[in-house]
Amino acid sequence: MNFAILAFPASNCELDAYYAITDVFGEEAALVSYDSESLIDFDAVIVPGGFSYGDYLRSGAIARFAPIIPALREFADSGKPVIGICNGFQILTEAGLLPGTLQKNTVAQFVCRDQKLIVTNNQTPFSDLYDDQEVITLPIAHGDGNYYCDDKTLKSLKENNQIVFKYQNNPNGSLSDIAGITNQQGNVLGMMPHPERAVEKILGSDDGVKIFTAMINFVKEREVAFNE
């Protein structure tokens, strides 16, 4: 299968994602520029972390106007998997692909450390290899990771089981300890922690492996279903 890894001006985690997909998982991947207008040849999309457009205005706010975003919306609407990591999560909320917003950390500083998470929904194309309520460790590195939404949206997230990951010992003030959510269809995931930096034990944790393996399995199962 073939992953598209989007690259915006000042994003800085696309090569981490590229290495994980190609070297660790042995799948094909390509860096796709923000000024491209098609994702037609790809099976999955990673919107990586960094500081797209220097985080001017607010994180992800300018990236949502990039030429690639309409193609990303079309890709997500087709049911194929999209994962937005850190700044990628921020871009997905700004682009309206996920509800809510990411605000400045309540600790008023950049937080960079390994972080324990709880898998609160293991029935998604990204999390179905984890046990329910499994505790995993992934690195975080963000200054604007404080997830917020209004009461109506939070109620909807809970009712539709869209909250996939929660923090233990919330590091940034996120509402309801939210670390990662999906859209209602379940094929778009946004998360602040970095699974692409936790795919080999030598990095300190390989707890991110199951996220990408689950995505790969999901795509291959879809292909089989379409060909039957």
For residue 178, which phi and psi values (nearest 5 degrees)? -70, 125
Tokens 């939070």 label which residue?
A: 154
Alpha carbon distance 1, 212 (integer Å): 12
Alpha carbon distance 150, 1 (integer Å): 38
Nearest CA among 168, 29, 45 for reference residue 97: 45
Q: Which residues are catalytic?
A: 86, 194, 196
Residue 189 contacts residue 182 (beta carbons within 8 Å) = yes
C-alpha 191 chain-centroid distance: 4
Alpha carbon distance 44, 17 (integer Å): 12
Alpha carbon distance 33, 84 (integer Å): 15
